[in-house]
Amino acid sequence: MSRQVPLTCPGHTRPVVDVAFSGQTKFGSFLISASKDGQPMLRAGDTGDWVGTFEGHKGAVWSATLTEDASRAATGAADFSAKLWEAFTGAHLATFSHPHIVKAIAFTNDKARLITGCQNKQVYLCSCERPDAEKQLLKKHSSMVKRVCCSSDDNLVFSSSEDHCISVWDLRSNQEVQSLPTTNAVTSLELSRDGLVLTACHDKVITIYDASSLQPVRQLAMPSKMYSASLHPSRSTVVAGGEDLQVYKFDVENGEQLESYKGHFGPIHAVRYSPDGEVYSSGSEDGTLRLWQNTVGKTYGLWLADGTSSSQDATASS
């Protein structure tokens, strides 16, 4: 039986708190990571090889994201700013000042706007085309915003906070149109690339919603407190990580635990599947970013068919 050999992506010196993949491009997919060291990094999505570092923030970077085509990157930080970047060159395109720490960030699918969530409980809309324009403000949460994402038609924004709910905002009216109650604070929120499924992680529960009806279709009980979860593109499995330092994979249909792996030496803050579903990434309090095979033993990226890595120390280049 093949053994899971994760790839460790060096470079960060403090906890890795957010990770995000682009879509598949002609150059493959790309992976961005946010860290408290203030140095968000771009990597090849299949190998973890370092592409570049976005330099300019003056504090911990709490959130990072890429457009689907990997042409733009955006980051949110403790220096009360969100920044827009040209992803491949690392060129700084715009800075959006905020009244508090920017904890969450996402692009609209047309790349025209950024959605940001702040520690001051507010959700904002920023224009990428007119960076000097005043930010639009959505009604505030009752506690710090943790995650934001946008519907595939760019009409709805989903935001989560520590107030035990997921808020749904209509961008055509800038009004909250629905609130989805949860059992605990929602620490992870992910919309599938086809826009049909919303996955939320709250404490020891992962809830999967139909993104159109906003009705829950699956609820999976977790063995410990999870901070992040990500659904496979096929929707057959979900990966999760949290306070017990392990990365888990579960069957969505029956909730069965399929795999669990140790490798990190601190709580896991973020997990995400790649767009082709072949790997998933994990970022941890231990300052490392790791890539894991979805199908152990398959030849892919730096992994060989015998389950080993073509790099002797299973470390991506930096």
- 255-273 per-position pLDDT tens digit: 999 999 999 999 999 999 9
pLDDT score, position 286: 96
- Structure token pair of residue 16: 């890795």
Q: What is the pLDDT of residue 297?
A: 87
Q: How confident is the model at residue 142 (pLDDT cuts 50, 70, 90)?
A: confident
More confident residue, 311 or 227: 227
Confidence of residue 304 (pLDDT cuts 50, 70, 90): confident
Range 197-223 average pLDDT = 96
Give the pTM. Answer: 0.93
Q: What is the mean pLDDT of the chain?
A: 93
Distance CA 64, CA 147 (A): 11
What was the pLDDT predicted at 275? 97
Q: State the pLDDT at residue 312.
A: 38
Mean pLDDT, range 10-21, rounded to an integer: 97
Residue 264 near residue 306 (C-beta atoms within 8 A): no
Amino acid at 253: E
Candidates 74, 33, 88; CA nearest to 283 is 33
Contact 18, 62 (CB under 8 A): yes
* Per-residue confidence (pLDDT) for residue 41, from 0 to 100: 98
Closest CA to 65 of 28, 26, 17: 17
pLDDT at 313: 41
One-letter amino acid for residue 186 of the chain: V
Q: Distances from the Cα of 275 to the Cαs of 31, 50, 236, in angstroms?
A: 10, 19, 14
Q: What is the pLDDT of residues 155-178, one digit of tens each?
A: 999 999 888 999 999 999 888 999
Radius of gyration of the chain (CA): 18
